[in-house]
Amino acid sequence: MPVEFVLDPPLTDELRASIVTLWVDVTNAGGAVGFVAPVRRDDVEPVAEAAFAGVRAGVDHLLLGLDDGEPVALLFVVSNRFALKEHWRVLKRVMVTPGRQGHGYGAALMREAERVARQMGLAGIQVTVRGGAGTEKFYERLGYREVGRIPGALRVGPGDDRDEIQMWMPLG
């Protein structure tokens, strides 16, 4: 069944709870979405609520992938909140529910994000990748290129520092 994408769905209590559950599940399965496993709802909720606030304010956008009405993929299209960078956005918290990974949902989500960004008239989109997971290859296959790397910028555990990799897709 194909994924249905919705931009800025109403942030009902039920949807917000489903997104937090997805975020916890992705993190605990090893996903690099702002946390290091293990996490609980209490860890994720404040970060999720801050992301939802940006969407409610109309500054940021939520792109949600649904399979038979169930949230299975999402990302946030986030403003830089700086006038000189208003022509591009950052894609944050790119995630697919663990049980659906490897079935093309992530690629479909990123293609839809590109379509949305073009519709917004943006010149480019950026995504940050945690080194050591190999996910930069996924983004390269979709047309992103590495434009920067900060060695050891992300401390995921004692003695485990990872590079922060900046990936860019020009849309011009």
| 143 in any annotated domain | no
Range of the domain at 22: 4-122
| Residue 172: pLDDT band with limits 50, 70, 90 | confident
pLDDT tens readout for residues 96-145: 999 888 899 999 999 999 999 999 999 999 999 999 988 999 999 999 99
| 164 in any annotated domain | no
Q: Where are the beta strands (DSSP E) in 32-114?
A: 61-67, 70-78, 88-96
| 139 in any annotated domain | no
In this model, does residue 11 exceed pLDDT 80?
yes
Give the torsion through C-alpha atoms of 161, 41, 74, 8, to 10 deg.
-130
User: For residues 74 and 96, what is the distance between their CA atoms, to the nearest angstrom?
Assistant: 7
Pairing outcome for strands 70-78 and 124-130: unpaired
In this model, does residue 15 exceed pLDDT 60?
yes
Domain count along the chain: 1
Q: Which of 1-5, 13-17, 160-164 has the lowest mean pLDDT?
A: 1-5
| 55 in any annotated domain | yes
In this model, does residue 1 exceed pLDDT 70?
no
CATH number reported for the structural domain that contains residue 8 in this entry: 3.40.630.30
The pTM (predicted TM-score) of the whole model is 0.96
pLDDT at 128: 97
| 17 in any annotated domain | yes
| 150 in any annotated domain | no
Q: Residue 62: which of 83, 40, 39, 92 has the closest Cα?
A: 92
**Overall average pLDDT of the 25-35 stretch:** 96
User: For residues 77 and 71, what is the distance between their CA atoms, to the nearest angstrom?
Assistant: 17
Q: What percent of the chain has pLDDT over 70?
A: 99
User: For residues 156 and 137, what is the distance between their CA atoms, to the nearest angstrom?
Assistant: 21
